[in-house]
Structure 1
Amino acid sequence: MSCIIIGASHAGVQAAINLRTQGYTDGITLISADKVLPYQRPPLSKAFLQNTLPEQRLWLRPETFYQQKDIDLRLSTRVVKIDRQEQQVVLDNQEQLSYSKLILATGASIRKLTISGSDLEGVHYLRDHQDTLGLREQLPDANNAVVIGGGYIGLEAAASLKKLGKNVTLLINSERPLQHLTSPVISDYLSQLQQTNGVDIQPLAPATEIIGEGNKVVAVAAANGQQYPADIVVAGIGVNPEQSLAEEAGLAVENGIKVNQYMQTSDANIFAIGDCVSFYHPMYKKQMRIESVQNATDQAKTAALAICGTLTPYSATPWFWSDQYDAKLQIAGISAGHDDIVVRKESEKSLAVFYFSGDNLIAVDAINQPKSFMITRKYLHDLPKVNKTKLADCSQDLNSIFTE
């Protein structure tokens, strides 16, 4: 028998690697719907879009790696059904593969625009390798770009397109970028950064129609009554957990595939990891779903250990990052539910926002302040109580604040 892994992004590849590292000697089949080798996703809206990252550096591992580790990597392949009773998966070519353990690393699927004109040529998303290639092909003939969405993908895409010399308008449906993800302090900094670099940010202006001539985009209409010229449109309006296979197989789902602390689903022989997973986080004592490389790779390790007989509950501190122009935003923890913030500003281009729930520190957003990120991440697991006055004082040693 063997372990089958459905999905070959960060979570799936890391699960296969960890299984071999833990001494798993049975067969491993890694199934990917993509036509190309498994790749990193964060550069798709940044360095790979800007064509500053060679394609071979996008791959998570070279092709020879999978051969050396005896991992059967199947590209351009989809699983259409999971038969739990027979412990088999059915592929899109009707081939049936048996498993003793199954790992679902199906990730998330892009939310697509539903407004009029969203099917016109020139409308793009940035979820996979092919998306970025398609956008890059059209860039030489494009001067005006409209980006729809004020999340991380929208901001990163706007920055990348601006660096490529395009006229960029960013349409967001909220009062500020990242409104549901971060504090006004961070939003204001990133808004000013984008505007200083020439991006036209339009708040409270969701796109209402994509206007075309023939089959090609020429403008985007927004709820503020304005129309913005567009040779290309990039939409970053979020994702949904890819849970359809699990749901059809009768597994428990709850805004993602529901798992226990060992990444086991409601079927003990099936595990799930990464963006598609809903899990109880012991730090924050609530059910959540996290979209990050760190979460994917850490959950892959937890699942591989469990399959190999070592039950180690998942309890990793979440962390994330985003690069825009000369700003590196690093985030540790989950700030949702905070009731107080402390700002530690070292310079005009370096600040950190610490989030508190009562007296407990629950997260930090750091812009060009790596030390604050690293030190906070080190101690955050226990949701520590720290002196807020000292935390705001840049003359105070941060390590000492956490250890006093």
Structure 2
Amino acid sequence: MNFYEVNFDGLVGPSHNYAGLSYGNVASKANAKKFSNPKQAALQGLDKMYALAQLGLHQGVLAPNARPDLKTLRALGFSGSDGDVITKAAKLEPQLLKACYSASSMWTANAATVSPSCDTQDRKVHFTPANLNNKLHRAIEVETTSRILKQVFSDNDYFAHHEPLPQHPLFGDEGAANHTRLADSYNHSGLALFVYGQDNQSDIRPSKFPARQTRQASEAVARSHMLKTENCLFIQQNPDVIDAGVFHNDVIAIGNENVFLFHEQAFYDQQTSVKKIREAYKGSRPLHLIEVSNTDVSVEQAVQSYIFNSQLVSLPNGGMALIAPSECQKINEVETYLSALKQASNPVNDVIYMDVKQSMQNGGGPACLRLRVVLSELELKATNQACLLDEQLYSTLSIWINKHYRDQLSEYDLADPQLLKENYAALDELTQILELGSVYDFQRE
């Protein structure tokens, strides 16, 4: 039976804004308080999805969280009508209002960790929603994200859903952004590579920015997913690059099937880490470990361009393509490296540049916007078909975005109760388009 990697991209929500909420994310802080363009952001993300579908890849859509999160605001003591809650929060706790309006669920690489059925001992696809407990605006996503995943992958014969890990610093979990699967093909069992920023039993950790993923969280996910011990590898991210703005592993490394592209400063004790990866990989096709030197692309240039936050995809006609943000073309060293990469002796034979500037300005490239789910033919058929992108759904979502999204948004607009009404109306319609049932727990009085 054939297996496919399906990219499920998060739709950019109608409250997309630049609030600068993510400490440790250089782009998020640099663009704080600028005007955002929600309609443009959503259309850029949708266009990327459609471009991949036109390449012959399977492409899915994940709905955004409902924003503002009135449930959290009410739990924090703001009461009255919906408008009263917004007005009071804007006046007394504007940072809380910004957090509850964040559209950060668009970065679905953080939505969950997913293990395919060819890796798990019960032969089901396993999902663990990330608790994202390092940031308030992200931690409040977990409940809704879990419901969305259960609606998209609802067949219990094929899919197993786990509860998120406890909301405790010991178990900080950021999902697939710190997880890579290396295999000789999607059909075969692979190596689950978990990258963590901090082991709570060790003093090796960054000094400036927080390490969001713990080893303890990664190990817990691996146990829950019934992965064989010999098929798992836990390696530590270089704390120095976390302090340079590499808040997730997918900002400094990317893998697909038998190719792993990474910076020479990606991991702690890199030489030993690379040796462990090479020894743990058991595929029949050779493993291509492509280490990018700091001379070719510096860490700073990697963070500026998000070269490693590209999508690395296998093409139906053979070979692989790197779906890179257009920012890579603005840095000579990065563009030069990518031009040489596709000419070198490795499976990557094409680089396709995509404009996702609205996401990039908040610190998310093409890879941040998607959750990779490896599915068999039967599992793909058991998936919610209304969430699989084709020309008709692309057209429907384009019309929906143009109908409901504002062209421009500032932090001052978040205090307008009318924005809440607009957002909720849009999402009510979206649940019908994607056949998601009642995934939104609108807490209203």
Q: What's the TM-score, normalizing by structure 1?
A: 0.26
Q: Considering Cα pairs closer than 8 Å and 6+ residues apart, tell me whether 1 or 2 has the greater RCO.
A: 2
Q: What's the TM-score, normalizing by structure 2?
A: 0.25
Higher helix share: 2
Higher strand share: 1
